[in-house]
Amino acid sequence: MEFKASQIAELLQGEVVGDENTVVSGVSKIEEGQPQTIAFLANPKYEHYIYETKASIVLVNNTFEPSDKISATLIKVEDAYQAVASLLQMYDEMRPKPRGIEEPSFISKSAKLGEKIYIGAFAYIGSNVSIGNNVSIYPQVYIGDNVKIADNVTIYPGVKVYRDCKLGENVVIHAGSVIGADGFGFAPSNHKDYKKVPQIGNVVLEDNVEIGANTCIDRATMGSTIIRHGVKLDNLIQVAHNSEIGSNTVMAAQTGVAGSTKIGKDCMFGGQVGISGHLSVADGVKLAAQTGVASSIRKENEILQGTPAFNISDFRKSYVHFRKLHILANKIDELEKELKNLKS
């Protein structure tokens, strides 16, 4: 489909600078821009691309002032990054989506199916499953008994949702993820082996949660492992049993959350963050990549780094010394030798 600059500006509540009749039919990165595509500039360090891009339209912030001639038509918006996110979402929603039930697939006779759903080939839908309207379940998905799936949920190929779990509205689960596998619960015995503790709880994903590919969220021993509304989890994340992640928290890939940990709302975790079990993390906490948390974080909106984690400003000051430890060690050796000579 083709759109004029004037139409896009109206959708995004922006202002056209240039030819409002410029037409585009696709999107591109600004450094790889092609004619009849729309690109965006949000980060100032990429500004040099705007003077050479071949994209026909470029979204920019209201504050942008060019320092050279630009051939593209500009659309000025309050926030270019948010605007392109909205534009891509609209573009994605316009793409045709599959509907109907493909064969072969298995659907229990006791399952309740909503309207306008899609169930792909080789999917399995267990007993007493409830599926809402506009739900897409792609091929080779397993949905266990008694699972509740609300409206507008998308479950991509190869996902496994174990029994009794609950998925809220607009949940998206990407390929290969496992929701509701047993938590890692084993009780040591006098025989130096381990007795499995049955995991009889479930997992609850509230509305607008998105789970990346190959992420695992374990069911609770009792009660629920809860992912609150608006949480976004990247690929390859592990959330252990009985944990709770507060609303609108985001986590990057390879983060691990141990059991019974309570994480507040609006937190941001970088990649490979590790959090010990039975801890609490306050609202708004930010953890830099590879941070290790061994005790509760009670101060809201704190930014931490390192293992064990401490304030990021202190970490950066300390790092100046960390990297010079070998030099300091050599100086100490020299001083000890001089002191020994003086004593002798």
- Rounded to whole angstroms, the Cα distance separating 76 from 8 reads 11
Q: What is the pLDDT of residue 89?
A: 86
Predicted confidence pLDDT, tens digits, the chain (344 residues): 789 999 999 999 999 999 999 999 989 999 999 999 999 999 999 999 999 999 999 999 999 999 999 999 999 999 999 999 998 888 888 788 899 999 999 999 999 999 999 999 999 999 999 999 999 999 999 999 999 999 999 999 999 999 999 999 999 999 999 999 999 999 998 888 999 999 999 999 999 999 999 999 999 999 999 999 999 999 999 999 999 999 999 999 999 999 999 999 999 999 999 999 999 999 999 999 999 999 999 999 999 999 888 788 887 787 777 788 888 888 888 898 888 888 88
- CA proximity to 25, closest of 43, 13, 7, 52: 7
Q: What is the pLDDT of residue 40?
A: 95
Amino acid at position 34, single letter: Q
Amino acid at position 122, single letter: F
Catalytic residue among 229, 241, 321, 326: 241
Q: Is position 191 annotated as part of the catalytic site?
A: no
List of residues 6+ apart from 132 with CB closer than 8 A: 114, 149, 150, 151, 152, 153, 169
Amino acid at position 68, single letter: D
- CA proximity to 12, closest of 72, 94, 76: 76
Phi, psi of 173 (to 5 degrees): -125, 120
Q: Work out the burial of residue 204: count CB atoms within 10 Å of its CB; fewer than 13 is exposed, 13-18 middle, 19 or more buried.
A: buried
- Rounded to whole angstroms, the Cα distance separating 185 from 240 reads 10
Q: What is the pLDDT of residue 138?
A: 98
Cβ pair 152, 173 in contact under 8 A = no
Q: What is the pLDDT of residue 220?
A: 97
- Rounded to whole angstroms, the Cα distance separating 208 from 98 reads 21
Cβ pair 263, 278 in contact under 8 A = no
What is the residue whose two structure tokens read 């008694």?
146
Phi, psi of 210 (to 5 degrees): -125, 130
Q: What is the pLDDT of residue 94?
A: 79
